[in-house]
Amino acid sequence: MSQQERREAAVRQLLDAGGPAPVPPDLHTDAVRRGAGMLRRRTVLRRAGWLLLLAAVLAFAVWAADARPWTEPPSRTTPPLTRW
């Protein structure tokens, strides 16, 4: 055992002294309450995201059905007249 390891072992003993701390009884309840809140918020956010996506897809579909961007626009210029 090297000098360094001996020193580390001594510190480890100091750190371990006192053993596990006594846990206050409401710690578990508080953690569950806050954790459930986090889960709920996450669910709400996820749902809102899906709803937003759905609304965007619907809006695009309605616009596309109306505007038909894939059809060629009607020509606005008259072809030049050659040969009388």
Partner 1 sequence: MRERQAAQQARRAREFQAFVAGAAGRLLHAATLLTGERPDANPRARVLLTGALAATYASWDRLRGEDPYDRTRTALVVRFARGAWRRPRAHGGLLDRLSPQERLVLVLRLYEGVAEEQTAALLGLPVERVRALSARAVAAVLHPPRGPAPAAAQPQVPPTALGKAASP
* Interacting residues with partner 1 (CB under 8 A): 4, 7-8, 10-12, 14-24, 27-28, 30-39, 42
Smallest gap, in angstroms, from Cβ of residue 24 to partner 1? 6
The nearer residue to partner 1, 21 or 67, going by C-beta atoms, is 21
Smallest gap, in angstroms, from Cβ of residue 55 to partner 1? 24
Smallest gap, in angstroms, from Cβ of residue 28 to partner 1? 5
21's CB contacts (< 8 A; 6+ apart) are none
**Torsion angle of C-alpha atoms 54, 59, 65, 71, degrees rounded to 10:** -110
Two tokens, residue 73: 């626009």
The nearer residue to partner 1, 32 or 53, going by C-beta atoms, is 32
The nearer residue to partner 1, 29 or 61, going by C-beta atoms, is 29
Distance between CA atoms of 66 and 57, rounded to whole angstroms?
14
